[in-house]
Amino acid sequence: MSGLKSNLRGSLIARRRAIPRADRVRASRRIAAVVNGLRQFKPGARVAIYASFGSEFDPAPVVREARRRGICLYVPVVVDLPRRRMRFIALSPGIKPGIERTPGNVGAMRFVPARWFNLILLPIVGIDTRGHRLGMGAGFYDRALAFRRLRRRWMGPRLIALGFDCQRVDCVHAQAWDARLDALITESGLHLFHTGDS
């Protein structure tokens, strides 16, 4: 299974990198516009965002609009690299978001539980037709969002991936612990997933 996922991950990253610059700019504008229209993207909402890495969708325009609307933004930071643990903290001028980076003074930071958010916007390498996410393989998001697997009813936060249409596939060879999302936003719009047991 790990070989299948690894091969798929490499193929999807290459596909994403191959998007021509002009197409990426147009697609990114469309994606940001759809995010701006989300019901949860409103003043006072608590939204977790990410810093893009490599050819991922860059959410910088989403961050600018969120700040303009008075949305409370949070970002993931690594707090325990060997155990692949990350937490969320408020986005402030001194913080560089990204699960690859660990801030120096972790002990002084005020962490926010993932359950507390209205909306979490996630990067993807790939996503399948049922909303199973394929990430970079370290499992940071899967561990941070594990509480969702224990619930019988959905109670938030809303989990929405940001990416491009070329990242959509029929199957990502998901494991039981892989995060399953509520929706995906691409240049072609908002794609909802049924996240019940069936």
Joined together, the tokens standing for residue 126 give 């790939």
- The residue assigned the tokens 């990067």 is 123
Please, what are the averages of pLDDT over each run of 10 residues along the chain (198 residues)?
Answer: 81 94 94 96 95 89 93 88 85 59 56 91 94 86 84 77 96 83 96 68
Closest CA to 76 of 53, 58, 102: 102
Residue 38 domain flag: yes
Under a CB-based contact definition with an 8 Å cutoff, are residues 31 and 188 in contact? no
Residue 51 domain flag: yes
Interstrand relation of 133-134 and 85-90 (parallel, antiparallel or unpaired): unpaired
pLDDT for the residue numbered 97: 54
Residue 198 domain flag: no
Closest CA to 63 of 19, 95, 85: 95
Residue 123 domain flag: yes
User: What is the Cα 168 distance to its own chain's centre?
Assistant: 15
Residue 126 domain flag: yes
pLDDT for the residue numbered 98: 52
Residue 78 domain flag: yes
Residue 17 identity (one-letter amino acid): R
Residue 54 domain flag: yes
Residue 197 domain flag: no
Neighbour-count burial for 167-197, b at 16+ CB within 10 Å, e otherwise? bbbeebbbeeebbbbbbbbbbeeebebeeee
Q: Compute the distance between CA of residue 125 and CA of residue 184 in angstroms, rounded to an integer.
A: 12
Closest CA to 86 of 123, 35, 42: 123
Question: Structural domain of residue 174, as residue ranges?
Answer: 2-192
Joined together, the tokens standing for residue 45 give 């909402």
pLDDT for the residue numbered 198: 37
**Which CATH number fits the domain that encloses residue 48?**
3.40.50.10420
* Domain total of the chain: 1
Q: Compute the distance between CA of residue 112 and CA of residue 128 in angstroms, rounded to an integer.
A: 29
The torsion defined by the Cα of 157, 162, 168 and 170, in degrees rounded to 10, comes to: -10
Closest CA to 99 of 81, 113, 126, 121: 81
pLDDT for the residue numbered 159: 94
